[in-house]
Amino acid sequence: MNITKQNKYVILKFVKMTLLIIILVIILPIAIIAGIEYFKVINAPKYNPESMSLNYEIMGSGDKKLIFIHGLTGSKNYWKNDIDAVSKTHQLLLIDLLGFGDSPKPNSDYSLNVQLEALEKIIKKENFNDGQSIIVGHSMGAIITLAMLAKHNTWFDGAVITGIPVYKDKNEFRKIMSGHAVFDRLASGKYSTLICMLHPLFMTQFFKPDNLTDAVFEDAKKHTWQSYANSLNEIVIKPDLYAYAKAIKNKKVVFIHGDKDTSAPFENAETFSNSFFNSEFIKVDNGDHQLFLKQPNIIWKAVNKFPHSINITEAKKVTVNEF
């Protein structure tokens, strides 16, 4: 049956209206959000270490000292799960890294050196560089922890780290992340920077990973596309982690890693730990990348017994009151 000119006009008008609705409802809001996030970073002041101090908090009391370094998109609040287990015996320094949490978010390259410089100022200011401190780091924070320990060997007693990401290169990282949740896949792919500009859209309850608490997920929204993308490239993927093992020398490093960690490959982390002169590798059965949020007692047990070894079976059974 032939379509009349009038029918063609109606169909063409319907198509145009549909496209207009798609542009107004979907494409235009996405473009606006991306533009706002882009210019928010571009118009931000350049990083000035003299005037831009990190946000941090000091808790607890005792002769021993702990410094906490969170992971990518994390914050100092990540470490507050059952923190009474150590706050009664330790002074605690919890820090928001530059570009994350409530710390400044300048226009910066967010290199490892920049993060170390910002942390050094706080650590020295609060006298956590007296050789008595243990650094506790998770994921990207574990890498920063090792870099700090390698650079300032005499400042610290050692380190306890969990979920350290050890990748051969960016391709291995992307391959690993391809099996993750939607936002993780998008944020690690070819258009990761653009996707990260749209994190206000993606980082909603619908996309929240099951292994994150609501509080940790809320803090994860506070980064910028620049602090995320640059930190990922400059700190997680780029550094030669094996160089740290030589520089750290005989300082004790305790590695705690879940065997179901799909973000930081278990085998890579275990192999890496063997390159250290004085290390202990604790395997946590069925532990994932956020094992601390489910089993904080394992980390607290390692901290309380540092530098001595712990029995992981015992650590799993320990309650906070037994410390």
- The closest of 135, 148, 32, 47 to 99, measured between CA atoms, is 47
Kindly list the distances between the CA atom of residue 9 and the CA atoms of 29, 228, 279, in Å, as whole numbers in the listed order. Answer: 29, 49, 75
- Residue 155's contacts (CB-CB under 8 Å, 6 or more residues apart) are 123, 129, 130, 131, 133, 148
**DSSP 8-state secondary structure symbol assigned to residue 8:** H
Q: Is 108 exposed, middle or buried (0-12, 13-18, 19+ CB in 10 A)?
A: buried
Count Cα atoms within 13 angstroms, Cβ side, for 102: 8
| Paired residues of 257 in beta bridges | 283
How many CB atoms within 10 Å of residue 157?
17
The secondary structure element, H or E, covering residue 37 is helix 28-42
- Residue type at 134 in one-letter notation: I
Domain map (residue ranges) of the chain? 56-322
How is domain 56-322 classified at the CATH fold level? Rossmann fold (3.40.50)
C-alpha span between 273 and 279 (Å, rounded): 7
At residue 70, the pLDDT reads 98
At residue 186, the pLDDT reads 57
Contact 187, 220 (CB under 8 A): no
**DSSP 8-state secondary structure symbol assigned to residue 207:** G
- Helix 140-151 × helix 112-125 angle, to 10°: 70
C-alpha span between 219 and 100 (Å, rounded): 8
- Residue 55's contacts (CB-CB under 8 Å, 6 or more residues apart) are 76, 95, 96, 101, 102, 103
Residue pointed to by tokens 């494409």: 27
Contact 312, 283 (CB under 8 A): yes
The secondary structure element, H or E, covering residue 187 is helix 182-187
- The closest of 78, 248, 85, 97 to 162, measured between CA atoms, is 78
Six-digit token pair at 153? Answer: 């060997």
pLDDT in tens, the chain (323 residues): 455 666 666 666 666 666 656 555 556 667 777 777 788 888 999 999 999 999 999 999 888 999 999 999 999 999 999 999 999 999 999 999 999 999 999 999 999 999 999 999 999 999 999 999 999 999 999 999 999 999 999 999 999 999 999 988 788 887 877 666 555 555 566 666 777 777 777 777 767 777 788 889 889 889 998 999 899 999 999 899 999 998 998 899 999 999 999 889 999 999 999 999 999 999 999 999 999 999 999 999 999 999 887 766 555 544 333 33
